[in-house]
Amino acid sequence: MSTVAVVGTGVIGASWAAHFLAHGLDVVATDPASDAEEKLRDDVTAILPPDDAAIDRLRFVADAGEAAAAADFVQENGPEREDVKHALFAVLDEAARPDVILASSSSGLLPSVIARGCPRHPERVVIGHPFNPPHLIPLVEVVPGRDTAPEVVDRAVEFYTSVGKRPIRLSQELPGHVANRLQAALWQEAYSLVERGVATVADIDTAIAYGPGLRWAVLGPFANQHLSGGAGGLAHVLRHLGPPTEAWWRDLGRVHLTPELAETLVAGVDAELAGTDHDRLVAARDAVLDRLLAAKAAQPDLP
Ligand SMILES: NC(=O)c1ccc[n+]([C@@H]2O[C@H](COP(=O)([O-])OP(=O)(O)OC[C@H]3O[C@@H](n4cnc5c(N)ncnc54)[C@H](O)[C@@H]3O)[C@@H](O)[C@H]2O)c1
C-alpha cells in the first residue's frame, strides 16, 4: 500500500491527507471546489510539523476518477448526501482497480446505500468513519454493508492499524454507526436539560468536560463503571445502581430541534465562549489531545 486517494478535501479530507502523508504514504487528492488545491496545501502544511518534506508526496488532480485510478486505497470525504455519494462512488468504482478498497468517511450513511453507486464491485465498499480531527483522534469505525466482502473489512482494519489508527469493526450497518449514536444519546439529554431549564449550556459542558468526560478519555463507559463497583466490579454496580438507573431512563427527555431550541443552544454556547478566540481554542484542544494521547500511550496498563 503506497498511494491513498483522498477524495473531497474539506475539514475531514485535509486532515486525513496530512495523516497519511505523515505515515509515509503518497496522497493523490481531489476536490471540485475552485480554490481546493491551495486550501488543501495550506491546511496540510498547518497540520504537519514545520518544513516537513512529506508535503512533497501530495499530488492534486482534477477529478475523482484520476485519483482513484492512481490509488491503492480510496478514502472518500465528500458531502454527507446520498445523491452525491452515489454519483461519486460510481466514478470511483469505474476507475479504481478491482482490489482497491473504497472507504467512505460518512458520519452516518449506510454503506449498502452508498454502494448502490457501484454496480461493478460493491463488495469493496466499506465505511471507514474517523473522528474529527482524523490526524489526532485514533478511532475509525469500519462498517460493512450487505455486499461488503469480509476480507475487505479485514484489509481495511489492517490498513487503518498500519497508519496508527484504532479501528473497531461493526458487525452490521446502522444509521450513525456506534460512536455517533452514543454522542446523539448524550446530546438528546443535554438539549432536553437546557430546554427544561435545568442547567445552562455552559454548566452542562462543565459537567462533562470536568466530570465524566475526563474518565471517558481514559477508559470507556463500561470499564469506568466496572471500576466504580470496587471489588464487586460491574456485576455489583448493575445490581446496586441498575434499578435507579432504570428509573432515570424513564425520565430522560425526547427533544425536537425546533428553531426556538436551536436558538437557545446557540445563544448558550455563544455566552459560554464569549471572548474566546476560535483558532486559539482549536489549537488548545489539539495541544491537550496530543499530550493526552502521549500520556495514554506511555501507560501500559490501559487497554
Ligand atoms: N466534520 C466532521 O466532524 C466529520 C467527522 C467524521 C466524518 N465526517 C464525514 O466526512 C465527510 C466530509 O465531511 P466534512 O466535514 O469534511 O465536509 P466539508 O464540507 O468540510 O468537505 C466536503 C468537501 O467535499 C467537496 N466535494 C463536493 N462535491 C464533491 C465531489 N463530487 N467529489 C469530491 N469532493 C466533493 C467539497 O468541495 C468540500 O471540500 C462527510 O461524509 C462527513 O459525514 C465529518
Ligand 1: which of 77, 104, 286 to mutate, judged by most atoms within 8 Å of the beta carbon? 77
- Res. 17 pLDDT band, cuts 50 70 90: very high
**Shared-domain flag, residues 246 and 105:** no
**Shared-domain flag, residues 42 and 151:** yes
> What is the pLDDT at residue 73?
98
Mean pLDDT value of segment 200-229: 97
Helices (H), 163-274: 179-195, 201-209, 212-216, 221-228, 233-251, 259-272
Mean pLDDT value of segment 246-252: 97
- Res. 191 pLDDT band, cuts 50 70 90: very high
> What is the pLDDT at residue 302?
96
Cis bond upstream, residue 111 (ω within 30): no
**Shared-domain flag, residues 146 and 293:** no
Mean pLDDT value of segment 104-123: 94
- Res. 172 pLDDT band, cuts 50 70 90: very high
**Percent of the chain topping pLDDT 90:** 99
Q: Is 183 in the pocket of ligand 1 (CB under 6 A)?
A: no
Mean pLDDT value of segment 1-18: 97
Give dist(CA 92, CA 122) in Å, integer: 11
Judge whether 112 lies within some domain. Answer: yes
Instruction: Tell which of 114, 140, 169 closes a domain.
Output: 169
Mean pLDDT value of segment 89-104: 97
Mean pLDDT value of segment 31-59: 97
Q: How many Cβ atoms from other residues are within 10 Å of residue 164's Cβ?
A: 11
Q: Which residues of 92-124 are buried (b: 16+ CB within 10 A; e: fewer)?
A: bbbbbeeebbbbbbbbebbbbbbbbbbeebbbb
Instruction: Tell which of 169, 196, 215 closes a domain.
Output: 169
**Shared-domain flag, residues 81 and 116:** yes
Which grid coordinates belong to 198? 435545568
Judge whether 136 lies within some domain. Answer: yes
Judge whether 270 lies within some domain. Answer: yes
Judge whether 302 lies within some domain. Answer: no
Judge whether 303 lies within some domain. Answer: no
**Percent of the chain topping pLDDT 70:** 100
Per the CB < 8 A criterion, the answer to whether 62 and 30 are in contact is yes
> What is the pLDDT at residue 216?
97
| DSSP E strand boundaries for 57-111 | 58-60, 73-76, 101-104
101-104/73-76 β-pairing:
parallel
Per the CB < 8 A criterion, the answer to whether 30 and 67 are in contact is yes
Residue type at 238?
L
Indicate if the pLDDT at residue 117 is higher than 90: no
> What is the pLDDT at residue 119?
87
Instruction: Tell which of 135, 169, 203 closes a domain.
Output: 169
CATH number, position 184: 1.10.1040.10
58-60/166-169 β-pairing:
unpaired
Judge whether 151 lies within some domain. Answer: yes
Report the atom number in ligand 1 closest to the C-alpha of 39: 39
Which grid coordinates belong to 27? 496522497
| Residue 85 lies in domain | 3-169
Which grid coordinates belong to 156? 481495511
Give me the residues paired with residue 66 across strands. none
Mean pLDDT value of segment 147-176: 97
**Shared-domain flag, residues 190 and 159:** no
- Cα(81) to centroid of ligand 1, in Å? 9
Per the CB < 8 A criterion, the answer to whether 97 and 68 are in contact is no
List the Cα angle 290/294/300 in 5-degree steps: 155
pLDDT in tens, 126-153: 999 999 999 999 999 999 999 999 999 9
> What is the pLDDT at residue 232?
97
Per the CB < 8 A criterion, the answer to whether 48 and 27 are in contact is no
Ligand 1: which of 9, 15, 31, 187 to mutate, judged by most atoms within 8 Å of the beta carbon? 31
Judge whether 11 lies within some domain. Answer: yes
CATH number, position 151: 3.40.50.720
Q: What is the CA radius of gyration of the chain?
A: 21
Please state the pTM of the whole predicted model: 0.95
Q: Whose CA is nearest to atom 3 of ligand 1?
A: 132
Q: Is 144 in the pocket of ligand 1 (CB under 6 A)?
A: no
Domain count, the chain: 2
**Shared-domain flag, residues 124 and 56:** yes
Indicate if the pLDDT at residue 185 is higher than 90: yes
- Cα(14) to centroid of ligand 1, in Å? 10
**Shared-domain flag, residues 149 and 21:** yes
Rounded (10°) CA dihedral 144, 6, 4, 296:
-70
Residue 144 belongs to what H/E stretch?
A: strand 139-144
**Shared-domain flag, residues 135 and 283:** no
List the Cα angle 22/26/28 in 5-degree steps: 115
> What is the pLDDT at residue 86?
93
- Averaged confidence pLDDT in the chain: 97
**Shared-domain flag, residues 144 and 191:** no
Mean pLDDT value of segment 216-228: 97
Judge whether 201 lies within some domain. Answer: yes
